[in-house]
Chain A
C-alpha cells in the first residue's frame, strides 16, 4: 500500500501532501516526476497544489499533456484512487478525469482563508470517515476556484451524488455568503462516476495537524487509507 505524490515544475504543495501522508497518516509515500510514465506501483495518486508549469496559459492546461498524466488517466480508468487538491483539481478537470472547469474567482483576487465545507456524500473512498452533512473546516488558497459546468453536467453530478463538498456556513447552510469564489452551486469538490477520482479546491493537508490550528482535513486522508486497506 503506497501513495504517490506527483511533482510538476511549479508544484508547491507536493511536499506538504508528502509530509501529511508520511508523518501524520504514517503511510509509505513516494514522489512521482512529471516526465515519467512510471507510477511505481502506487495505490493512490495525489495531484498536489501549486502552479504547474507556471499556470501562465490556463490552470492545468499544460500539465494535462505531461507523461505522468497519461499514466494517471490509465490508472484512474482501472479504478485507481486519485486525489486532486487545488491546482490538482484544475489539472484533473483539464485532463478530462473530472467534468467542468475552474474559472477565476468572482472577486478576481487570490483568496487564502479557512472555509467551511459540508460533506454531501460520505459514501466515497475519500469521505468514508465523515458523516453526510458534517461540516469540515479546511483552508482554501487559490485564484481560480470558481467551479463551472453546463446544466446537463450539473444535473448529472447531482443525480449521481458526485458533488462531494459544498461551501457552507459553520452550521451547514449553503448560502451565497458562504461561497468564497462564486462556484456554481457552492461546489468545492466533485468525484468521478466510479467515485475513485476526487478533485477539491480546499487543502486538507493544511488542516491535518493540531499545530496548524485544525485537524478536520485529515479525515480525507484517513478515509483514503481505509479505502486502500480494503482494496
Chain B
C-alpha cells in the first residue's frame, strides 16, 4: 500500500482500505460532504473494519443476555466485570488472535496474551489467571474422518510448527509477565489447518470501588501517552483480521506486532500504582487500531472530544507519517486522561518504572477526534462517525445443511467383536482427548501462589483470593464439530459444558465471556451459522443464569475459500464461597462409592445412533462423522449444576468429573489416572450397542465418588432436583474395569491407560518429525 501523503484518493485506494464505495460515500457524508485526507481514510478503514466495528455481528449480539444482579460492567468496555463478594470484583474477557497466530505463530500468540492482559489491567484489575483455547490442524497422519485424504507430511509439519510456535509464544509472554496459566483446551480438526484458532482468556481482581473505565472527561484535562514507543509494526492489523487468507498472506507478516512481556509487566505495575494516586480520570489500552481506537473511543464514551499532537508521541523510528502513527499497533501502550494540574503525580510513577509518559493532548468539548502534526490538523472526525455511526449490516442469512449424513452410514458396524479395551486406549491417546502436559508444562501455572487447581487434572481452573475465604473457578469450552452439525445446539453445549466444568469444582457459575470464531460473514450460510450460534448461546446463558459480559467476534477465518467449523468458545467464571471446598475431578482413594449423576435418560436406538455419529469415538475409531450433537435439556442441566454445587458445598462429594468427550469410559479413566486409583463399575446397555454405553457423549452427566455414608445425602439432593444418582461401582486399587450387563468389556491397569493418555501428544509430535524427515 502506498502511504505517500500526497496520494490522491482514488476508488482503488478506497478499495485497498477495505471500504466499499457505499461506505466511502458514508464517510464523506459524515465529514460534512468533504473528501477525507489519507490519514482520515486510514482511520475510517480500521475503525470500520469488521474487527473493530462488529458491523456484521452487532445486530445479532444484541440478543445475548448481559445483565444480572452481579454484573457491574457488561459488554462495551475493555472487559466485563462481576461482583464476587467481600468487596471484590473480577474483570475477565476472552479474545481471539487467530490471524496473526497463523502468519507468525510465536508473536501472534504472545501478543494475543499481551492484549487480553492489558484489557484487564486497564480496568484497575491485577491479572491473576489466564487460560487459552487453541485449535490446530491434525498433528497425526491418521486419516481424518469426513475428509478425503490423510494430512500430507507438509501439512503435518506446518501444523506441528504452528502448535510449537503458539505454545511457546503464550508461555514466553505469560511466564515473564507473571500470571499463572490455568490451562484451557487444545483441539485438532482438519478445518483448522489453514486457520488455527488462538483464543486467550484473562481474569483480574479489583476492589469493587476502585474500578477504572475507558472514558475521557473534563475539558482541558491532559491526555497522556504511556508505555512503549510507537513503531511501524502492526499497521492495519485490524484490517488484516477482517479479510480471508490467500497465498499472499505470508506477505502480511509485517502486520503482526512484536510483543515485549517485560515492558508489559512494568506497564502493569506503573498503571496500578498511578491509579492509586487518584489523578487518573480514564484509561484505555492501545490494542487493535492503536492510538486511533483509544482516542475516539475514550472521547466517544465520555461524550467529549480529544485533541492530540503527533509530534509529542514517542516514536521508535524517524520519519513516521501521521497515517502510520495513528494506525500503528505497537504493543504495550496505554492512553490515559489525568486531572489537570496533577499530571506530575502520574509522570513520577511512570518515571519510577522507567517508562515513557508524555502529555500528547487534551480533552475538548466538541465531540471530535482532532489530530495535529506540527500544529496543523491532519484529521478531524466526529467520534460518533467512527463508533456509533459505523456501518451496521443485517447481512442475508441462508439455512445450511452440512455435507454429512444425518443417519449412521450402512458401512459402519457397531457391536462387533472389536476389543473395547483397545478402543478405549485409542481414544485416550487421540489428539483431542489425550493429556496435554506437553502444552501446559511450558506455562507457569503457579506464580502468584493462588493456584488451587491448575491445568491438566481439572475440569476447571481454581484460584484462591488472598485475604478472603473465597475462590474463583473458570473454564473454557467449545466444540466446533458439534456446531458444524447443528450450530444452535452446539453453542448451547459449549455454554452448558463450560458451566458444568465450573460447577464440578464446586463453584456457582455467575458470568460468561465468548469468542465467536467464524468464516466469511459475507456468505449467507456463515451468517446463518452465526445467528444460530447466538440464538443457542442466548438460550443457554439465560437458562443457566450466566450473562455474557464481553468477548469478541473473529470472522474471515478462511483460507482459499475453505472455512473453519463455526467455533464459539465460551469462558465461564464461578464463585466458591469457601475455596477450601473446591473439589477435584480425580478419585482420591480406593473403597469409595462411584455414582453417576444424570439429568436425562438415554434415548431410544434411533436417537442414540444419530447422536453417536458426533462423538470422538465415531471420529477417531470408526473414522466417520454423522448425525447430530447429543440432545440437551437446559432446565435439567441447570438443575444438575445446582445439585452438584450443593452436594460439594455440603461436603457430600469427594471427587466430581464432568462426562464429556469420549463418554463414560473416558471420564472414568481420566478420574483414575492422576492418583492411580482404579475403578470397577457395572452399567447396563439398555439394549443398545456396547459402544453407546461406554463412549456415547450424552450431556448432563457427572461421575462422582464419595464415602458410602454420604450416599443417602447425595440421593436426597438428587431427588430434590429431579435427577438420577445411580451407584455404578466403587474405586479399587490400580485397575479400571467396566462391566456391561454383567460381562467385563473393559479391563486395564491404570498404568497402561496412563501411558496411552500421557505419551500420545509427545509421540505424535516426534513421529511427525520423523515422517517429515523421511519424506
Residue A212 is within 8 A (CB to CB) of chain B in the complex: yes
**B249 lies within 8 A of chain A by Cβ:** no
Verify A19–B178 contact, CB threshold 8 A: no
Residue B265 interfacial (CB < 8 Å)? yes
Q: Quick one: closest A residue to B164, CB to CB?
A: A109
Flag B134-176 by CB within 8 Å of A: 1 or 0 each.
Answer: 0000000000000000000000000000000000100110011
Q: Are A111 and B441 in contact (CB under 8 A)?
A: yes
Interface presence of A51 (CB below 8 A): yes
Q: A12-B177, A109-B168, A212-B451 are in contact. Are A139 and B446 (CB under 8 A)?
A: yes
Q: How far apart are the CA atoms of A56 and B449 in the complex, in Å?
A: 25
Closest to B448 in A: A16
> What string of 1s and 0s marks CB contacts (under 8 Å) between A15-28 and chain B?
11001100100000
- Within the assembled complex, what's the spacing in Å between the Cα atoms of A53 and B354? 11
Q: Quick one: which of A1-49 are within 8 Å of B by CB?
A: 9-10, 12-13, 15-16, 19-20, 23, 49
Contact of A10 among B262, B442, B466 (CB under 8 A): B262
Given A10-B265, A139-B446, answer yes or no on A212-B452 (Cβ-Cβ < 8 Å): yes
* Residue contact A112 to B168, C-beta cutoff 8 Å: no
The answer to whether A211 and B266 have CB atoms under 8 Å apart is no
Contact A19 B443 (CB under 8 A): no
1/0 contact string of B163-203 vs chain A (CB within 8 Å): 00000100110011110000000000000000000000000
Contact of B580 with A211 in the complex, beta carbons under 8 Å: yes
Interface residues of B in 442-459 (CB under 8 A from A): 442-449, 451-452
Q: Is B464 interfacial (CB-CB < 8 Å)?
A: yes
Known interface pairs A9-B354, A112-B442; A141-B175 also in contact (CB < 8 Å): yes
By size class, the interface of chain B is 20 to 34
B435 to chain A, nearest CB (A): 13
- Which residue of chain A lies nearest to B178 when distances are taken between CB atoms in the complex? A12
Q: In the complex, how many angstroms separate the beta carbon of B258 from the nearest chain A beta carbon?
A: 13
A122–B354 CA distance with the chains assembled, in angstroms: 42
Given contacts A10-B176, A111-B442, A112-B443, contact A19 B466 (CB under 8 A): yes
- Are A209 and B262 in contact (CB-based, < 8 A)? no
Please determine whether B446 and A56 come into contact, CB atoms closer than 8 angstroms.
no
Residue A54 is within 8 A (CB to CB) of chain B in the complex: yes
Q: Decide: A110 and B449 in contact? CB cutoff 8 A.
A: no
Contact, CB under 8 Å: B579 / A206 = no
A49 contacts across to B, CB distance below 8 A:
447
Q: Is B176's CB under 8 angstroms from A54's CB?
A: yes
Check A53 against B262 for contact (C-beta < 8 Å).
Answer: yes
Q: Does A94 contact B (CB under 8 A)?
A: no
The residue among B262, B266, B451, B452 with the most chain A CB atoms within 10 A of its own CB is: B262
A16 touches B449 (CB 8 A): yes
Bound-state CA distance A23–B445 (Å) is 22
Counting chain A CB atoms within 10 Å of each CB, which of B168, B444, B451 scores highest? B444
Name the distance in Å between B407's Cβ and chain A's nearest Cβ.
46
Question: Taking the complex as formed, is A205 at the interface, i.e. its CB lies under 8 A from any CB of chain B?
Answer: yes
> Is the CB of B353 closer than 8 A to any CB of chain A?
yes
Residues in A neighbouring B451, C-beta threshold 8 A = 212
Per-residue CB contact flags for chain B residues 238-280 toward chain A (1 = under 8 Å, else 0) read: 0000000000000000000000111101100000000000000
Indicate if A125 sits at the interface (CB-CB under 8 A): no
Query: How far apart are the CA atoms of A152 and B764 in the complex, in Å?
Result: 42
Q: Report how far A109 CA is from B169 CA in the complex, Å.
A: 12
Bound: A143/B464 CA distance, A? 26
A211 engages B464 (CB within 8 Å): yes
A50 within 8 A of B: yes
Question: Does the CB pair A205–B265 fall under 8 Å?
Answer: no
Select B444's contact among A9, A15, A112, A212, beta carbons within 8 Å: A112
Q: Which residues of A contact B580 (CB under 8 A)?
A: 211
In the complex, what residue of chain A is closest to B437 when comparing beta carbons? A113
B178 touches A50 (CB 8 A): yes
- CB pair B265 A206 closer than 8 Å: no
Q: Does A195 have its Cβ within 8 Å of any Cβ on chain B? A: no
Docked Cα-Cα span, A136 to B170, in Å, equals: 30
Please name all residues of chain B whose beta carbon is closer than 8 Å to the beta carbon of A212 when the two chains form the complex.
446, 449, 451-452
A188 to B577, CA, bound (A): 38
B452 touches A110 (CB 8 A): no
In the complex, A110 Cα to B176 Cα: how many Å? 11
Tell yes or no: A166 within 8 A of B by CB.
Answer: no
Closest to B126 in A: A15
In contact, A56 and B443 (Cβ under 8 angstroms): no
Asked, given contacts A112-B444, A211-B580, whether A12 binds B265 with beta carbons under 8 Å apart, the answer is: yes
Is A162 located at the chain interface by the 8 A CB criterion? Answer: no
Q: Please report the C-alpha to C-alpha distance between residue A109 and residue B448 in the assembled complex, in whole angstroms.
A: 21
Q: A118 an interface residue at 8 Å Cβ cutoff?
A: no
* Pairs A–B under 8 Å by Cβ, sample size 28: A9-B262, A9-B265, A9-B266, A10-B262, A10-B266, A12-B176, A15-B448, A19-B466, A23-B466, A51-B175, A51-B261, A51-B265, A54-B176, A54-B263, A56-B262, A109-B442, A110-B175, A110-B443, A112-B441, A112-B443, A112-B445, A141-B447, A206-B449, A208-B449, A211-B452, A211-B464, A212-B446, A212-B452
- A residues with a Cβ closer than 8 A to B are 9-10, 12-13, 15-16, 19-20, 23, 49-51, 53-56, 109-113, 139, 141, 143, 203, 205-206, 208-209, 211-213
Question: Other CB < 8 Å A-B pairs besides A54-B262, A55-B262, A109-B168, 15 of them?
Answer: A9-B262, A9-B354, A10-B265, A12-B176, A16-B448, A53-B262, A109-B171, A109-B442, A141-B446, A203-B446, A206-B447, A208-B449, A211-B579, A212-B451, A213-B452
